[in-house]
């Protein structure tokens, strides 16, 4: 099963300011706090997509108010929080590279993360998972005070083999995210399927946040990896990668601007190809996959 993992630099203060503190207001129909956030940060303004980001932010908050108290936190609020972060600042893509999976193998690395219970207290009574368990979900949070420790442990070689094992050729992208967080005094929020690249047609990539804010390096690495795998498979079957063609079905639904709004029922971006890359199982549907255009 494939995981489109992304890393979202954000502080605990911003988690509350952008989402957790805004939810009770939105439930009361009071959007003044949301408007104050938009006025202060003006997401999307640099590229002329301010209206899109404002609309997306409002819709995400409204969706958050509809989540029942027993819904799993990671697959609802955690996922929305990561999507909201992507409206405000850059985030990073590491195909398959998830710290959650590393913790499953090396439990001692959980010391670099912070459980959601310590962030939100008793605000959410549902299960508060603090790592990825399936697709379309929020994952671990590496808090601000652990970012320098994690970077130092990597540089000293203490956890270098583990990180190399986990991230493979996307490790430079994770280190870039780590450096961004360290420089700005932020933490790192893990999520999956915020952005879903189509490695055979990057123009058909889907996203439930603001795609322009996704750092392209990890996406390009994924596309290059898939192309290399296809070339190897074609040569193994006696073909020539230079002349081989890959049959795909793509349904195009142009939606401006480049990043799709998270509003049901239409998929917000042109959907991915009908089949997963060779050797991968289809992804399990998440709580918000139908909301945000997941397949």
Is 291 part of a structural domain of the chain? no
Mean pLDDT of 38-47: 96
Q: Is the pLDDT of residue 238 over 90?
A: no
Residue 181 pLDDT grade (very low, low, confident, very high; cuts 50, 70, 90):
very high
* Least confident segment among 5-19, 151-165, 214-228, 244-258: 244-258
In whole angstroms, what is the distance from residue 182 CA to residue 293 CA? 32
User: No. of H helices and E strands in the chain?
Assistant: 11, 6
Domain annotation covers residue 285:
no
How many angstroms separate the Cα of 77 from the Cα of each of 86, 218, 251? 14, 25, 30
35-44, 51-60, 62-71: lowest mean pLDDT where?
62-71
Please state, rounded to an integer, the average pLDDT across all residues of the chain: 82
Q: Where are the beta strands (DSSP E) in the chain?
A: 4-10, 92-95, 137-142, 187-192, 195-196, 206-207
**Average pLDDT of the segment spanning 174-201:** 96
Q: Is the pLDDT of residue 203 over 50?
A: yes
**pLDDT tens across 217-235, in order?**
999 998 888 776 665 655 5
Asked if the structure places residue 274 within a domain, the reply is: no
User: Is the model's pLDDT at 259 over the cut of 50?
Assistant: no
pLDDT of residue 46: 94
What is the average per-residue pLDDT within 138-154? 97
> Is 137 inside any structural domain?
yes
Query: What is the mean pLDDT of the segment spanning 50-76?
Result: 94
Q: Is residue 263's pLDDT more than 90?
A: no
Which residue segment(s) compose the domain that 229 sits in?
A: 4-236
Note whether residue 203 is domain-resident: yes
Count of structural domains within the chain: 1
CB-based contact 212:85 (threshold 8 Å): no
pLDDT of residue 239: 57
For residue 290, is pLDDT > 50? no
Question: Does residue 283 register a pLDDT over 60?
Answer: no
The mean-pLDDT minimum among 155-169, 219-233, 271-285 falls in 271-285
Tell me which of 10-14, 34-38, 105-109, 115-119 is least confident.
115-119
Is residue 155 assigned to a domain?
yes
Mean pLDDT of 208-215: 96
- pLDDT, position 232: 65
Residue 81 has pLDDT above 50, yes or no: yes
pTM of the model: 0.79
Residue 82 located in a structural domain: yes
> Does residue 52 belong to any structural domain of this protein?
yes
For residue 224, what are the CA distances in angstroms to 93, 169, 174, 221, 230?
14, 11, 17, 5, 10
């Amino acid at each position: 099963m494939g995981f489109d993992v992304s890393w979202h630099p954000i502080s605990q203060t911003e988690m509350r300011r952008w989402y957790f503190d805004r939810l009770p207001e939105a439930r009361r129909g009071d959007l003044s706090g949301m408007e104050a956030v938009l006025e202060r940060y003006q997401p999307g303004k640099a590229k002329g997509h301010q209206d899109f980001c404002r609309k997306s932010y409002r819709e995400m908050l409204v969706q958050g108010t509809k989540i029942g108290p027993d819904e799993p936190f990671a697959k609802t609020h955690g996922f929305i929080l990561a999507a909201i972060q992507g409206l405000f600042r850059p985030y990073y893509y590491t195909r398959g590279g998830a710290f959650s999976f590393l913790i499953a193998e090396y439990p001692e690395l959980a010391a670099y993360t912070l459980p959601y219970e310590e962030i939100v207290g008793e605000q959410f009574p549902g299960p508060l998972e603090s790592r990825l368990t399936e697709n379309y979900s929020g994952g671990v949070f590496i808090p601000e005070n652990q970012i320098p420790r994690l970077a130092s442990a990597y540089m000293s070689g203490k956890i270098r083999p583990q990180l190399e094992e986990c991230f493979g050729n996307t490790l430079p992208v994770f280190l870039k995210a780590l450096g961004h967080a360290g420089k700005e005094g932020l933490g790192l929020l893990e999520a999956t399927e915020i952005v879903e690249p189509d490695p055979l047609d990057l123009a058909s990539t889907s996203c439930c946040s603001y795609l322009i804010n996704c750092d392209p390096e990890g996406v390009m690495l994924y596309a290059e990896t898939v192309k290399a795998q296809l070339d190897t498979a074609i040569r193994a079957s006696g073909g020539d990668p230079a002349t081989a063609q890959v049959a795909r079905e793509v349904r195009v639904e142009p939606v401006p601007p480049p990043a799709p709004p998270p509003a049901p029922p239409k998929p917000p971006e042109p959907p991915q190809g009908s089949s997963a890359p060779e050797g991968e199982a289809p992804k399990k549907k998440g709580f918000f996959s139908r909301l945000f255009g997941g397949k």
